[in-house]
Structure 1
Amino acid sequence: STTRRTGRAELDEHAAGVNTSEIEVVTTEGNRSHAEFMENVRQRLAQIPGVEAEVGQPISHRIDHLLSGTRAQIAIKLFGPDLATLRTKASEIRDEMAKVEGIVDLIVEPQVGVPQVQINMKRQEAAAVGLRAEDLAETVDTAFNGHVASQVLEEQKTYDVLVRFNDSARESVESIGRTLIDTPTGAKVPIAQVAEVRVDQGPNTINRENVQRRIIIQANVADRDLGSVIGDVRSAIGTNVQLPQGYFVQYGGQFEAQENASRLISILSIVAIGGIFLLLFIALKSARSAVLVMANLPLALIGGVVMVFISGGTLSIASLVGFITLFGIATRNGIMLISHYQHLMEEEGVSFRDAIVQGSIERLNPILMTALVIGVGLIPLALGAGEPGKEIQQPMAVVILGGIVTSTVLNMLVLPALYLKYGREKAVAAAKEYAPDGKFAAVRD
């Protein structure tokens, strides 16, 4: 099925003219990958003369729209006072971006000159008859847009009475110039006497953000990660585009949101690791044991990093979330081992070395079963690269799947060895303190 929306209403937050259309098409990719299908669509649309097309998915377009006000992954906002200079510099930026590998759907916000009737006040002549600029503006506004003079009530409904000039008084520059305007002295003078009326080229639209004029150059990314493309774009613009004083560039879109999210996740990761340590210290009653459990985190990190490299080398926000999830799973495995070692020594009087061997064997099945269930559940998501709807789940699944493999295997080898070397003194002391009567003899090195 296909739907189309042409333009947007003037009162819409992002108004657009009838020269723009949004077309949503439900398609079947067949044997092609998602990336190949999108590239084929772009190639077909590029053959249509005079059309600038942007290809994407409805959900991602809406997210991009919320992030930067544009339906694209990259939104470069150029700010400055003069519209002509903005258009010139925007064209230079577009040319530099077109040279960057991975840039697709490159579009400059349309700003073109259109015929306009411009009325420029002759200040000396207007002052001679006592006219102010607002007097002229009010007359012109009433003539063209109309002025609500009153309201009429009819059958419980009110209707505005709009006063404006008839069509003959507005159909040409000459007729506008002959329009009479009242002066403070009571005399009437034609507009042409106090203002210059002419037809000239003017901008079709003036967009502002934070009270500053701006123009947007937008683009999407294909076959490369967003971060590296933005790095190349920044380098190209900074080196080859010279901006006059008062003009500056602001980078937005997914990249801006990704930077903010990365900073937030980094802070939360530190908080999470600190929280994990405190919980381990409370549960194991030993700072050394807590540190030994957390030594398993780098083991999980190895597999996650390797899988990110194998799957394309792109570290996204979803991947970072996967690492945090992975740290929790790896910590759980360490707790299962050390807490069982302590249980065997405290409750059953098993010696320190035997507790490590016996505890590792007894916890092997639960740890392997947990890893197997998680792995089987994540395989379909990990294999769904490029499929619509799996943009977030797939990178997260890849990280968790790789980390589960290395953390499970290395955890069963490294953690018992570390605990045997560094956990003996605290473990034996704790076991003697909490062991039931009659079992002290069994608790030994």
Structure 2
Amino acid sequence: MQKLVAIKGMNDILPPDSARWEWLEGTVRSLMARYAYRNIRTPIVEPTPLFVRGLGEVTDIVEKEMYSFEDRLNGEQLTLRPEATAGVVRAVVEHSMLYDGGKRLYYMGPMFRHERPQRGRYRQFHQIGAEALGFPGAEADAEIILLAQALWAELGLQNVRLELNSLGQPDERKAHRAALIAHFERHQDALDEDARRRLHSNPLRILDTKNPAMQDIVEAAPKLIDFLGAESLRHFDTVKAILDANGVAWSLNPRLVRGMDYYNLTVFEFVTDQLGSQGTICGGGRYDYLIEQVGGKPAPAVGWALGVERVLELLKEQEVPSPAVAPDAYAIVPDAASLPAVMAALQRLRAQGVSVQMHSPAAGTEGMGSMKSQFKKADASGSRHALIFGPDELARGSVTVKPLRQEGEQLERLLADIPAWAGTLQSLR
């Protein structure tokens, strides 16, 4: 029978790598709580019109990358979510979450885009994101950027630079759009097929081209920031002033437009030079019109999303250690007849918060296996202690605790006193 394997670009996450994921997710949860962000979980499958309306019809995601299909039972057009912001906004509108004021939310989960798998970029990929909805002020933009900056510090990441831009408001973009079209029309012969297709439908996206042959034309294009009015500039200046006051370095990138149509005013990306072409590890901005676009009452919002795989790649590239995941103790059981008593003791230890791995013999092994083989497995597990449940110890109602990772004598401990000594087994986790 043919062996079944995972779909290309959709990867299994196995131990010990999964421990790094858990460490990252735990760090995020702790940090989000300090900034008063609450967790939200939305469906993986959403109505296709949500993304067409929210992201824009003339975006790479909608045109080329979405996994869309028709529900065979009712004919509804459905899509595996390619990003989470539209779904979060849909949930906020559907459940009238802003009726009593703004909300700070965060999410974690898988997204799906049909693109060529490469380092840090997969067809099923994972994002962590933060969204502040219902807050119009520039301080919300700055706070959410500071939140991401704090995460890099918590994780121990270095050399991640912040790039900023402002997309202004629709009327300002409209004036810039006209100037942009006129500029690119004068150089139409030098545009690639993708740029020509977008010239009149979404010329702003041409600025994001990766085509080296078009870089000079793009560099010479009119800059949106020159078309911003006083209010948009004041908003942007406030964001920059707050970042400056917090010692956050940033650089202005007038070509930064982001990939979705829903952004306005502040946009930003956190970028590294250590991941090749996949240098953006986190990006976002303000999207004050998306809530209305998906059927809600007009309300401001700002947010970001980070690529989990890219952040983990960067952590590996920078050799940032994550906490080792190993049991506090490994139970060595010479005699299978003692298993009921041993497992009762282990349950009591676990109830005290001790992580214990019990020895289980390999298939085909007679009995519990030799003491030598059990100690070998105890050492391989990374445990700090071995718990030896020999017949003599059990007859005395005790267990021998033997240190495996540090110097120290082995001690015999009474099982009746587990609450008194269990804490001595626990590592710093």
TM range (shorter): under 0.3
Q: Name whichever structure is richer in helix by fraction.
A: 1
TM-score, with structure 2 as normaliser:
0.24
TM-score, with structure 1 as normaliser:
0.23
